[in-house]
Amino acid sequence: MRLGVLDVGSNTVHLLVVDAHPGARPLPAHSHKAELRLAQLLDDDGAVGPEGIDKLVAVVHKALQAAEDKGVEDLLPFATSAVREAGNADDVLRRVREETGVELKVLSGAEEARLTFLAARRWFGWSAGKLLVLDIGGGSLEIAYGIDEEPDAAVSLPLGAGRLTAARLPGDPPDPDAVRALRRHVRTEIARTVGEFARFGAPDHVVATSKTFKQLARITGAARSAEGIYAQRELKRASLEGWVPRLAGMTTAERAELPGVSEGRAGQLVAGALVAEAAMDLFGVETLEICPWALREGVILRRLDHLPAG
């Protein structure tokens, strides 16, 4: 069957269309993406303003049209931290429902972490042993650990690259004092969770998903996206530590010139790098592997698990 996943995230609204059947690997058929930066459209009270809701409704309409054009028979729409934490989340969801007919399911942070973990587990298989999975989104950082398909521990922290950039990194390039303050803040937040994972022992394999980690891996020498999803891509902490001060000293335009860094994400890369570096350091990770599958694939896999075989 042809499934569509509509992901209303903090940075983008992304429709992923796949051909999927129980017991088989989902095959991507189409991708439709619009940069909305919902997390940056919040007002001082943390609510999505009328203009932001109008933009979201328009983007969802376009995604629906794309899903119809591609023959999607089952659409799985969901929203993550930007909508989840908006002060007027109910109003946002109501407007989208009334004007598009789409009922967005708002995932909790823990659900995000569990579904992303499921995707990583299915990608790497049982032979990967105990997995530690890191995911940096626009609004939050998800961390999950386990040996089965359901993680033993899963947390979501308000350390997304977009959120932190908007709230804590003024200037272009960012103010050095702000960078140092953000580094302290990020490390304090992550350190509070380390003990929850440490009691399960060291992971056998550490993996990361998300655009932020992919871009950091690319600028530190990982394979280009043109080499396909099966090319192994790694991020080494030593390489990342060397890049963090360089990124912090660059303007957004200069970062956008780096290999693999998109113009739309260049402004968030310093915050994302600080979070990635802190997570790898505090969890004692020297090298991690980039996983091509993430939350959207996890949503698809969970849906397929509930379909009858045959």
* pLDDT, position 82: 87
For the chain, the residue count is: 310
Beta bridge partners of 75: 4
Instruction: Give the pTM.
Output: 0.94
Asked if domains 2-106 and 123-295 share a fold, the reply is yes
* pLDDT, position 177: 97
Rounded to whole angstroms, how far apart are CA atoms 99 and 241?
47
Rounded to whole angstroms, how far apart are CA atoms 303 and 292?
19
Q: Please give the order of strands across the beta sheet that includes 141-146.
A: 153-157, 141-146, 131-136, 205-209, 287-290, 234-236
In this structure, CATH architecture of domain 123-295: 2-Layer Sandwich (3.30)
Domain ranges in the chain are 2-106, 123-295
CA–CA distance from 225 to each of 153, 185, 229, 230 (Å)? 31, 32, 7, 10
Residue 231 structure tokens: 């090319």
Query: Could you tell me if 94 and 248 are in contact, meaning their C-beta atoms sit under 8 angstroms apart?
Result: no
* pLDDT, position 46: 83
* pLDDT, position 309: 59
* pLDDT, position 238: 97
CB atoms within 10 A of CB 257: 11
Residue environment code for 122-133, b if the CB has 16+ CB neighbours within 10 A, otherwise e: bbbeeebebbbb
Rounded to whole angstroms, how far apart are CA atoms 36 and 143?
25
- Return the residue matching tokens 């103010």: 175
Cis peptide before 173 (omega within 30 of 0): yes
pLDDT tens for each residue of the chain, 310 residues long: 899 999 998 888 999 999 988 878 899 999 999 988 877 777 778 898 888 899 999 999 999 999 999 999 999 999 998 899 889 999 999 999 999 999 999 999 999 999 999 999 999 999 999 999 999 998 899 999 999 999 999 999 999 999 899 899 999 999 999 999 999 999 999 999 999 999 999 999 999 999 999 999 999 999 998 898 888 999 999 999 999 999 999 999 999 999 999 888 899 999 999 999 999 999 999 999 999 999 999 999 999 888 765 5
* pLDDT, position 308: 65
**2-106 CATH:** 3.30.420.40
